[in-house]
Amino acid sequence: MDYEKIAELLYPDVKLSVDDILKRYPKRNLSEGQVVTRFAPSPTGLLHIGNFFQAFISYNLAKNTNGILFLRIEDTDEKRKVREAKAVIYEVLERFGLKFDEYQTLDGKDIGNYGPYVQSQRVEIYQAFAKKLVSVGKAFPCFCKKTEGKEDVLKLRENKFEEDDEKEYDPCRDLSYDEVKKHIDNGESFAIRLKTKNTGKERIKFNDLIKGELEAKANAKDFVIVKSDGVPPYAFAHAIDDTLMGTTVAVRGEEYISSTPAHLELFEALGFKPINYCHNPLICKIDEKTGNRRKISKRYDPEANMMFYFEQGYPKESVLEYLLNMINSGFEIWRKNNPDQAWQDFKFGIHDITAVAPIFDLVKLNDISKNLIARMSGQELYSNWLAWAREYDKELASVLESDSEKYIKLCQMDRDGAAKPRKDIYNYAMMKEYFDYIFNAPTKYELDESDIQNAKEFLAEYGKTFSMPASNEEWFAFVKALAGSLGYATDNKAYKQNPDAYKGNVAKACEFIRVAITGRKNSPTLYTIMSILGENEVKVRINNFITSLTLGDCPKK
């Protein structure tokens, strides 16, 4: 067969030889154990948590082995606005602090010697390899039209090959030079297919770094390695890129396991040593409606999109720690034993990565985040909250800025210096509603109906005599004295022995104040809340409460 002549006919303009290319990509100089790995996202417009999970695993593998991490944009399938979609990926990676050793900047500058790091700029390289494979008879042009349905192609195949379900040879696999020339002279476009060497009976074994040895049916399909638009699909592009770029470990989703036999045949046809794959399990979720486990999906789960975490104002460490927890459950114990260490100090290797699909659980993330935020100082929390608001709630940002002292105090509440800081805040988006009583006077009150009369009477006196005390103790002494003078027990023992002799105890009186000021029976330290609001606002709220109660605006509990 005139394979070389066919190759020349197909690619007269491809002058670059495979040898030239191989020279351009010298072997990396690595020391023992150093991992070269990569994150290879396709720009689809969002960064999915599953992809980010891989990026984060790769990042850690490189970091923990003093290795190399590069970013490769796989945009050969992407006809849409690649630049914007790329920008989203870069933004997420940068905001989470995932730094790459090699990548292409958004304005097109390659950092590193193994570029270009964007696949659409590597078409010439792919075509040179395709030409080479055709020239040695390992690949061939296919002129079947896209418009020809699968049925037609199957028919064509049936006519050419014996009925054999096991292999999927393509009708064009043995076209002669003259036949190819006829198509080309007709101006027909062509795809390039790998000429599989298998018959459909073979099985192969391959090693996965997470799952161990796997066995599968060997590829027996003449699959497309260059599409009719001249650009390769994932399989061909990644085999060439990972080889040229010196990848030693490729972390990718387990959905690629089924096509690994085809990929391995490609490596062999290209004369490449196969790379080590590490197929990570996909992140799952328990479906709220069915209760079944399913893949986390960008269609149904807002948390599948990494932007969600910025929008909701999760500290980036909360998300990263949660992901670490999913990668290796040992992280949780490590964190408990090392509460003050940075997550970066938690080291893991390839074999420590979970082989079981992790279940995403927002409650668990919130839990991790609560602990993390509880360790922030009030000033830090305020700054983070403000930074979030500047991006996602401008109105709130100007309120926070208008009285920074007040809002810093709010953030410090039950935190700085507290023996047990409150663990209640898990993101910045929840804070406005959570502290609603600071921003807005309550309009609804959480109070038992049987308490209305007493509350009204007590608060009328409280409102008249209240002035902002200098300390919690001073304030409490004031409440105690007032409550005592109005028929409340100041001694709990006495109250317990004969509750009917009193209107209630001091705790009850405090509850009235708390409800009037915050609308709720539970809140952080009341004295602090009052000092944040200021004497005037406290009085206004007490008055509001009395008036609105008269109006009957009191929801039953």
> CB of 47: closest distance to ligand GLU in angstroms?
10
Taking CB under 6 A as the criterion, the residue among 71, 250, 296, 455 binding ligand GLU is 250
* Closer residue to ligand GLU, CB minimum distance, 40 or 134: 40
Residues between 74 and 113 with contacts to ligand GLU, criterion CB under 6 A: 74
Residue 496, Cβ density class (10 Å: 0-12 exposed, 13-18 middle, ≥19 buried): exposed
* Closer residue to ligand GLU, CB minimum distance, 64 or 259: 259
> CB of 309: closest distance to ligand GLU in angstroms?
20
Q: How far apart are CA 443 and CA 425, in angstroms?
A: 23
Q: How far apart are CA 105 and CA 118, in angstroms?
A: 10
* Closer residue to ligand GLU, CB minimum distance, 250 or 489: 250
> CB of 40: closest distance to ligand GLU in angstroms?
4
> CB of 57: closest distance to ligand GLU in angstroms?
11
Taking CB under 6 A as the criterion, the residue among 157, 252, 508, 514 binding ligand GLU is 252
> CB of 346: closest distance to ligand GLU in angstroms?
24
* Closer residue to ligand GLU, CB minimum distance, 121 or 189: 121
Contact between 42 and ligand GLU per CB under 6 A:
yes
* Closer residue to ligand GLU, CB minimum distance, 42 or 120: 42
> CB of 39: closest distance to ligand GLU in angstroms?
7
Q: How far apart are CA 71 and CA 375, in angstroms?
A: 33
Contact between 41 and ligand GLU per CB under 6 A:
yes
Q: Report the Cα 207 to chain-centroid distance in Å.
A: 28
Beta-carbon contacts of 129 under 8 Å, excluding residues fewer than 6 positions away, are 18, 21, 236, 240, 270
Token pair 């002279």 is found at 185
Q: Could you tell me how many residues of this chain bind ligand GLU (CB under 6 A)? A: 9
Q: How far is CA 514 from CA 6, 492, 542, in A?
A: 86, 20, 10
DSSP notation for 420-451: S-------STTHHHHTHHHHS--SS----GGG
Overall residue count recorded for the chain in this entry: 557
Q: How far apart are CA 140 and CA 3, in angstroms?
A: 9
Contact between 40 and ligand GLU per CB under 6 A:
yes
> CB of 243: closest distance to ligand GLU in angstroms?
13
Q: How far apart are CA 189 and CA 183, in angstroms?
A: 8
Residue 400, Cβ density class (10 Å: 0-12 exposed, 13-18 middle, ≥19 buried): buried
Contact between 238 and ligand GLU per CB under 6 A:
yes
The C-alpha angle with vertex 470 and arms to 469 and 474, in degrees rounded to 5, equals 65
Residues between 50 and 79 with contacts to ligand GLU, criterion CB under 6 A: 51, 74
Instruction: Count other C-beta atoms under 10 Å from residue 254's C-beta.
Output: 18
Instruction: Count other C-beta atoms under 10 Å from residue 462's C-beta.
Output: 22
Stretch of 35-43, 471-479, 485-493, 531-539 contacting ligand GLU, by CB under 6 A: 35-43
> CB of 198: closest distance to ligand GLU in angstroms?
23
**Structure-token pair, residue 215:** 């066995």
Site string for ligand GLU, 510-549 (x = CB under 6 A): ----------------------------------------
Stretch of 40-48, 260-268, 291-299, 338-346 contacting ligand GLU, by CB under 6 A: 40-48
Contact between 122 and ligand GLU per CB under 6 A:
no
Q: Which residues bind ligand GLU (CB under 6 A)?
A: 40-42, 51, 74, 234, 238, 250, 252
